[in-house]
Amino acid sequence: MMREFLVDIPMGRVAGLRNSGDGPRVLALHGWLDNAASFIPLAQHLHGIDLVAIDQPGHGRSAHLPPGTDYSFVGAINAILDVADALGWERFALLGHSMGAGIGSLIAAACPERIERLVAIEALGALAEAPEHTVARMREAVAAHRALPNKRLRVFPDIDTAIRARMQATRVPGSGLTEPLVRLLVERGLAEVEGGYAWSSDPRLTLPTMTRMTEMQVENLVAGIDCPAMVIFGVPAQAYLPDDLRRRRAALLPHSELVMMLGGHHLHMDQAAAVAAAIGDFLRQA
């Protein structure tokens, strides 16, 4: 059973879920537009670790970044380290899914003295882009950011309608999310508003990223992860990270194990028992 917890860091209040376990300290980072509930199915099969799953800034029940700022992998590093500081954790392991695995990769590379182990599920490093797309991306992002104040949030009359909307949004090949799993994410990702419910996540999370690393930069970052790492990818591969690319990145890790298993992008939810069996002993060594 996971319980609610809150910590205050310089950017604001961060909410999350924590088990009552003893053992190695593991900080879990969810994917884009998900929240800490993403790790509830996995936590039911993970024992012997002190697991803390946070709602990353702008997600779930955590505070949004201040006006005038934007969300990025690099910008997330200090927020995650601030959470660890608030928990009193000098050294700890990172467990990340998708966006969370990308952010975890950056932290593991940038702060080797603090990260004991890394489990990266369905991502490794950041999304890369060719240098010649830099100007076009920045122009698109600036225009989207300037137009955001005119965007109106969708209001759902009830939770079930929001669940159906999320189900529709994830009804793509490889999503793997069933209604009970979607319900976990949606119930934590809604806020009551006049007329019903709206997503609690910051609308700025849906805007284009201002800049991205090149593939050479990502590969340099991955090669710089010194801690033991386990990388888990679902089969078949997702379009954003083709199989040859993800295998090439994983091969750059100095101390790693690559695990491939049948499952969708949220395999840590829909294949929770199998993922827990793969990572449990690895994390308990932290």
- 8 A C-beta contact, residue 33 and residue 265: no
Q: Which amino acid is at 185?
A: L
User: Residues 38, 62, 72, 98: which is the catalytic one?
Assistant: 98
175 is catalytic: no
Q: Residue 166 phi/psi, 5° resolution?
A: -70, -40
Give, in degrees to the nearest 5, the angle at Cα 21 between 20 and 27: 95
Q: Which amino acid is at 247?
A: R
**For the sheet containing 3-9, what is the strand order?**
3-9, 12-18, 50-54, 25-29, 92-97, 115-121, 229-235, 256-262
The DSSP string of 133-172 is GHHHHHHHHHHHHHHGGG-----BSSHHHHHHHHHHHT-S
Active site residues: 98
